[in-house]
Amino acid sequence: MNKATLAFVSLGCAKNLVDSERMLGLLAQDGFALTPEADGADVVVVNTCGFIEASRQESLGVIREMVDLKQRGRVRAVVVAGCLAERERERLLDEVPGVDHLVGVFGREEIVDVCNRLLDGRHEQQTLFRPASVRAMNDQARFRVTPRHYAYLKISEGCDRLCTFCSIPSMRGKHVSKPLEQIIGEARELIEDGVRELILVAQDTTYYGLDLYGQVRLAELLRELDQLDDLDWIRILYAYPMYFTDDLMQTLAEAEKILPYLDIPLQHINDKVLRRMQRRVNRQETETLLKQLRGTIANLVLRTTFIVGFPGETEEQFEELCEFVRDARFERVGVFTYSFEPNTPSARLDGHLPEEVKQERRNRLMEIQQANAFAWSAAQVGKELDVILDAPDAEAPGCYVGRSYADAPDIDGVVRIKGRKLRPGDLVRAKITGADGYDLFGRALEVR
């Protein structure tokens, strides 16, 4: 019998979503009934993001909304978990009075005990913070909130990079790889639950295995995953532009199920800016890598991210970045303005720029990239592509919204497919009939 109702809000990145699904799985096993609406729930858990100022403000806004429901008698208890809780700790209780309990990133396995204590009226303890794990946490037995046909598979936790702008190591700890056999076990469990597309995530996927085995082993892991039955697609996100071995590139090129799609966060191209960011790569190494990848992997789609307005970035350095993006012709690019993060090394750098300068540079770079992205979309018209269907198209009755190999969920474009007797999770061969900016239109030819 269900003993209490639970509402859950998951914010932030895909890695955080995996944590949310693990907590939901634990709570469901204990008998909590998940409800889609916070209003009227016994307990609300907000798994927060604390990465940059914008994400922190989003998290704080949701927390305040939940506390307001509690003050109006519509919710019994509010639990705040995840990165913002880990980053702010007890300060968060002062900033948002009314929060009943904080659970840090590494306290997620004890979420059931926290919620039960609150429902029993035991409020003597308000925080649960555990040391960063020296072993990767187990992500099995998740209650997934993504569509049934795709799932995120976390292969490691934490990060050993010391990028000067980034606060993730302070929240997520040092890099800890999952044992290869544990990842394969989690992958099999997801496939048995209907997953056709596995999306590999970590803070740094190319670094996988170095801490555990003394050498990077992403290529070996990918070959193992590629052999799994009843799996169609493997997509790789968060691949830092280091440790791309020849073995890894050949594996990416030759594997049957690994999509020719790579998310490689570059952040900048000017050598001086890269040094101030402490990225440990330079322009020449980056250009060599991109050339090797494009020369090895057929039809490769590259996604990357850049930060504009980093402290000390001159107009000349920004123009160098613009020219690079114009010439590199990335299929997918995200551009972010530098976010001042207290207690990071970049906060102490000189040359901080006004917000209006940062925003203007972002707009200029996105305009350059938009031309590249739109040209790529237009070039797909007339081709046949495999498309995985995510959901009915709310804007076009009888159509479905799907994604090609070039589209990761929620961050890239979509393919709107017209056809009969289609269902979410279908993998269809489609003729691309049109393009509209970042999105494509197609007609289903067959279901695979």
Contacts of 50 (CB under 8 A, 6+ apart): 56, 59, 82, 83, 84, 85, 86, 87, 88, 167, 171
Query: Is 432 within 8 Å of 384 (Cβ atoms)?
Result: yes
Q: What is the pLDDT of residue 124?
A: 83
Residue that is written with structure tokens 């709570």 in the block: 27
The rounded distance, in Å, linking the Cα atoms of 120 and 141 is 26
Tokens 């990761």 correspond to what residue?
408
Nearest to 38 by CA among 10, 2, 1: 10
State which amino acid sits at residue 28: A
Alpha carbons 285 and 303: distance in angstroms, whole number: 17
pLDDT at 343: 86
pLDDT at 395: 86
Rounded to whole angstroms, how far apart are CA atoms 156 and 202?
A: 5
pTM over 0.85: yes
Phi, psi for residue 445 in degrees, rounded to 5: -100, -40
Longest CA pairwise span in the chain (Å): 65
Task: Please tell me the predicted confidence (pLDDT) of residue 271.
Answer: 98
pLDDT digits (tens, 9 = 90+) for 276-300: 999 999 999 999 999 999 999 999 9
* Residue from 296, 318, 282, 312 nearest 249 by CA: 296
CB proximity list for 35: less than 8 A, separation 6 or greater: 5, 6, 7, 41
- Residues written for the chain: 448
pLDDT of residue 2: 60
pLDDT along the chain (448 residues), means of 10: 86 95 97 95 96 93 97 97 95 95 96 95 90 90 96 96 90 94 98 98 96 97 98 98 96 98 98 97 98 97 98 98 98 97 92 98 98 98 98 90 97 95 96 97 94
| DSSP of 16-52 | HHHHHHHHHHHHHHTTEEE-S-STT-SEEEEEE--SS
According to the model, what pLDDT value does residue 328 have?
Answer: 97
